Amino acid sequence: MGYFIVLAISWIGSLISKGKGIICTFIAFLWMAYLGGTASPTTTTDYISYQYYYNLLLNGLPGNRLEWLYTYLSKVAIYYGFDYASFRLFLIYATFIILFIAVIRLTEKPILFSALFLIFPFFNEVTQVRSFVAYTLVLFGLTFLKKLSFKNILIFEVIVWLGMGFHSSASVFLFIPLVQIFVQKAGITKASYLSTILTFSFALLLMISSKIGTLINFMARILELVGGSFIATTFTNLMNHSSNRKIFFVIALISYVSYQWYLAKVGNECSINNSSFRVPYSLYALLLMGELLLPLLLISDQLQRFQRIGIESGLLIASTLFYEKVKTKKSGRYLFILIVVVLILISMFLYYGLTDINADFPKSIPY
């Protein structure tokens, strides 16, 4: 019941209030942290695995395959007498606080972001805890890229490196500054068109070349260089035991392309008409990276983490653009938010596994 109350308050605050709703956002984030941190170990997928590796460390046994910073924090928690449930609760609360800071620095309407985030991808994120921490750090790093400089890029790269200490896949986002430079030089519309062409080309290449196995081996090699042989082996095994969902990919691609094209169109209009509401180019860069990585769904739906963070950047963009429309009393603002909500519901339907009645994830959500 608490979830639905917070969701309702977030939406009422988003659509009625002309302010940013920072206090309501903070309350919503605290409640999400509580729900994620106290999730039931018997119904939440991934919980038992995380608990198993934590207990290996607790008992001084070898075999922990997780990244260095997550392992280090686990050891610190064990030193101070934390059991896994307490460690999980502390880690998720800390992550939501960092996410809150990132959100209020990246968007003009944080309450709308929380209203959308509660629908999707909240449940995914608090289930796959390590990637949630890693990608939250990526979003926090983006707050330093509002203005590109050597110092800001260096800070961003260090923060992403810390994120890699929780999940090695965050390494792909080390290239965001390069994408951002391209977006700034080419413009949002041109960059959006080109990213879509590259996405289609990459997907077509994967489908007609039958080289998915080769690509998996290549990605495993990169992971071995970044995180070690144990992580690379685990990745290879995971890919071999996960599904290859072309329908998932096609629907996600249509939704994603429509979403980012519409945001790019509205974003250009807002930037031209009122520069004070300019969305950070770093967010558009992350959105495009999410689209460019969509073909990885053809390899495995286990790689959906990349698209989720791209969608989160889209939510941050949408929140600022909706705020701009409300403040300037522009028409079409409710149509804009309706389109965004429809696309978020499509994402929820896909990424929560609701397309498969036999999937474990929808049944695992205990809220």
Span 20-33, mean pLDDT? 95
CA 196 to chain centre: 20
Q: 135 and 305 in contact (C-beta within 8 Å)?
A: yes
Spatial distance between the Cα atoms of 201 and 87, rounded to a whole number of angstroms: 44
Pick the closest to residue 290 from 185, 198, 189 (CA basis). Answer: 198
Q: Sorting pLDDT into bands at 50, 70 and 90, what band is 154? A: very high
- Flag whether pLDDT at 215 surpasses 70: no
Which positions ≥6 away from 118 have C-beta within 8 Å? 3, 6, 7, 10, 28, 32
State residue 255's pLDDT score. 86
Which pTM value belongs to this model?
0.89
**pLDDT (tens digit, 9 = 90+) per residue, 179-198?**
999 999 988 888 888 998 89
Spatial distance between the Cα atoms of 68 and 359, rounded to a whole number of angstroms: 31
- Flag whether pLDDT at 272 surpasses 50: no
- Flag whether pLDDT at 222 surpasses 80: no
Q: Sorting pLDDT into bands at 50, 70 and 90, what band is 237? A: low
Please report, for residues 139, 152, 162, 274, the alpha-carbon distance to residue 174 in angstroms, rounded to integers and kept in the order given. 12, 13, 11, 31
- Flag whether pLDDT at 243 surpasses 60: no
- Flag whether pLDDT at 244 surpasses 60: no
- Flag whether pLDDT at 83 surpasses 90: yes
Of 65-74, 256-265, 284-293, the least confident: 256-265
State residue 226's pLDDT score. 54
Spatial distance between the Cα atoms of 235 and 30, rounded to a whole number of angstroms: 32
Of 1-5, 84-88, 277-281, 292-296, the least confident: 277-281
State residue 214's pLDDT score. 62
Q: What are phi and psi of 150, to 5 degrees?
A: -60, -45
- Neighbour count for residue 116 (Cβ, 10 Å): 27
